A and B are shown apart, each in its own frame.
Chain A
């Protein structure tokens, strides 16, 4: 089975920056798309960002576009989420996920579902 282990969550002031990491124990790291899904305390799930298996396609939810950046280090089997200009509404548990997708006529990747989840990393944005 795939295992995903997140780290990096902490208490941060509004306007601050934080980087989450996710170590993936899977041989096919560069084959599978991955991403981040978050859940505010007591609330529902919200998709945040995904990157295709090839790494050439990234997508972001409107709520984080321009502030968050997804990236990966294939040599370390690690996925990252760089979060800048953090707001109180970004407070949530952030889950690293494996994100099988589908491809349009231009071979552009889109997320389809999330079949493996990490245990989550709590980010609290508060003064």
Chain B
């Protein structure tokens, strides 16, 4: 099973909103509501930002929101800030023997 497909890079100016897509198949994103998103700053461990498509863990800013339509999930960052510059990975449970898959990662640049 291949990794979920994400754009390599997305950029935006401070205060703007950006959206990162995560495309899978009916065996993962489309077949589960267990889509999650992780933020990773250089040299640091990933941090969970969204789980179960649209739920935010305690302590994560309301500026981060998630959604899903069919086989594609999305992460929206509103009111973009310099600290949001990082790599973002999506992930999903699967209905196959692979069990779990991550996305290819998207580098977010704040202009």
Q: Which residues of A contact B (CB under 8 A)?
A: 44-47, 59, 61-62, 95, 100, 102, 110-120
Known contacts: A111-B93, A112-B51. The answer to whether A117 contacts B104 by CB under 8 A is no
Decide if B45 touches A113 in the complex (CB within 8 Å): no
Q: How many A-B residue pairs have CB under 8 A?
A: 58
Give 3 nearest A-B pairs by CB, closest first. Answer: A113-B36, A117-B45, A113-B51
Cβ–Cβ contact B102 & A111, under 8 A = no
0 or 1 for each of B71-108: is its CB under 8 Å from A? (1 = yes): 00000000000000000010101000111111111000
Q: Are A113 and B52 in touch, CB under 8 angstroms?
A: yes
Closest to A46 in B: B102
Q: Do residues A118 and B45 form an inter-chain contact, with CB atoms below 8 A?
A: yes
Given A45-B105, A47-B101, list of 9 further CB < 8 A pairs? A44-B103, A44-B105, A45-B102, A100-B51, A102-B34, A113-B48, A114-B38, A116-B48, A120-B45
B85 CB to closest chain A CB (Å) equals: 18
Q: How far is the CA of A107 from the CA of B100 in the complex (A)?
A: 18
The answer to whether residues A112 and B45 also contact, given A44-B89, A44-B102, A47-B102 and a CB cut-off of 8 A, is no
- A111 touching B48, Cβ below 8 Å: no
Contact call A112/B89, Cβ cutoff below 8 A: no
Chain A residues positioned under 8 Å from B105 (CB to CB): 44-45
Shortest CB–CB separation between residue B94 and chain A, in angstroms? Answer: 9
Closest beta carbon of chain A to B48's beta carbon, Å: 5
Considering the chains assembled together, what is the distance between the CA atoms of A100 and B48 in angstroms?
Answer: 12
Q: Of all chain B residues, which has the CB nearest A120?
A: B45
Given A44-B104, A110-B93, does the pair A115, B34 have CB atoms closer than 8 Å? no
**Residues A45 and B91 in contact, CB atoms below 8 Å apart:** yes
Nearest neighbor of B3 in chain A, beta-carbon distance:
A44
- Neighbouring A residues of B3 by C-beta, 8 Å: 44
Q: By CB atoms of chain B within 10 A, which of A100, A112, A118, A120 has the most?
A: A112
